[in-house]
Amino acid sequence: MVEETEHILVPVHELLTDVEAKKVLEELRVNKEDLPKIFESDPQAKKLGAKPGQIIKIYRKDPPFQAKNKYVYYRLVVKG
C-alpha cells in the first residue's frame, strides 16, 4: 500500500525557512496573508511538521507522461 503523501500524483512539498519565506514574499511583493492557505492538519503539512504562519512551497508538474512543465506554488499554513 502506498502512503498518501508519497503517491505519484501528490506534488512535492517543502517547508521554507524564515529566511527563504521572507525572500519569496519580497520577490512576489505580497504579504503572508495574501497567499493561498493550507491547513496544518493537511497530510503534507503534518508530515513536514508545519505550524501556522509558516510557508510551504509546492512543486507541481503536468500530469505524468505529458509535458514536463513544472510549476511552483506557495501556501500559508493556517490553524485547522
Total-model pTM: 0.83
Domain boundaries, the chain: 4-78
Per-residue pLDDT of the chain (80 residues; tens, 9 = 90+): 556 666 666 788 999 999 999 999 999 999 999 999 999 999 999 999 999 999 999 988 766 656 677 789 999 999 99
Give the phi and the psi of residue 8 in degrees, each rounded to 5: -60, -30
Q: For strands 37-39 and 70-78, give the pairing.
A: parallel
* Order of strands, sheet of 37-39, starting from the edge strand that comes earlier in the sequence: 12-15, 55-61, 70-78, 37-39
Write down the CATH superfamily of domain 4-78.
Answer: RPB5-like RNA polymerase subunit (3.90.940.20)
